């Protein structure tokens, strides 16, 4: 197990170093993406498979290390790839990145996470114990905790990796679709606020509450078996 932890840590550090070395300073900004949009589209047309692989790898690293810019990368995916290509690339890359972050928390950062997020950890543990997968689904959709905090705290729960994967992928899909669609008009966007309006955040919150409410109603009105 110790050897596996060392290899996992080396892989994460290597990916981060590669990202720093290859990514131009300031690239993950809306203005930069708008400026380089046509050049990148041309590159995708000339090397579609290589472009998709590079985009996927970049998204995984950004998600795993919670580097600001995942939303901008999703917009870029909408501008560079077809609708279904963008959904597959972003959905699986974001989920893989989130899962790697969760595993890093579970096997490498457990003590630090427990000290740094002691109070939120109690809330999440109680929620997972009470509602299980439904609670994680709600956390993914509702802006209660940031993306990276959900990853870190989930690593200290008893949730399995496979369950964490599919819940995260399903819960992050609505925002993925919205940002990919917005990315088709990347050249016209001036701010991320053009996409995530207060009404949209409320809609995500209500969607996140739906499984919890459904679970409560089911337990409330289903007769207990004796």
What are the sequence ranges of the domains in the chain? 2-221
- Of 9-23, 119-133, 137-151, least confident by mean pLDDT is 9-23
Distance between CA atoms of 80 and 128, rounded to whole angstroms?
Answer: 38
pLDDT band at 92 (very low <50, low <70, confident <90, very high): very high
Report which DSSP code applies to 225: P
3-state secondary structure of 166: helix
pTM: 0.78
Distance between CA atoms of 136 and 134, rounded to whole angstroms?
Answer: 6
Of 157, 91, 86, nearest to 120 by C-alpha is 157
């Amino acid at each position: 197990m110790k050897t596996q932890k060392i290899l996992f840590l080396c892989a994460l550090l290597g990916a981060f170093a590669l990202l720093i070395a290859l990514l131009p300073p300031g690239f993950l900004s809306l203005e930069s993406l708008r400026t380089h949009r046509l050049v990148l589209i041309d590159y995708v047309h000339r090397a579609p498979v290589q472009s998709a692989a590079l985009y996927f790898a970049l998204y995984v690293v950004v998600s795993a290390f919670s580097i600001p810019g995942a939303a901008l990368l999703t917009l870029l995916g909408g501008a560079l790839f077809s609708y279904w290509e963008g959904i597959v690339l972003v959905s699986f890359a974001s989920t893989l990145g989130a899962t790697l972050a969760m595993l890093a928390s579970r096997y490498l950062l457990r003590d630090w996470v427990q000290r740094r997020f002691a109070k939120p950890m109690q809330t999440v543990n109680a929620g997972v114990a009470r509602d299980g997968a439904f609670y994680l689904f709600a956390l993914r959709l509702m802006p209660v905790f940031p993306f990276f905090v959900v990853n870190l705290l989930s690593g200290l729960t008893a949730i399995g990796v496979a369950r964490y994967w599919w819940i995260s992928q399903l819960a992050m899909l609505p925002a993925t679709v919205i940002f990919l669609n917005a990315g088709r008009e990347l050249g016209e966007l001036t701010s991320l606020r053009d996409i995530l309006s207060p009404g949209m955040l409320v809609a995500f919150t209500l969607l996140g509450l739906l499984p919890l409410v459904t679970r409560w109603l089911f337990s409330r009105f289903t007769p207990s078996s004796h």
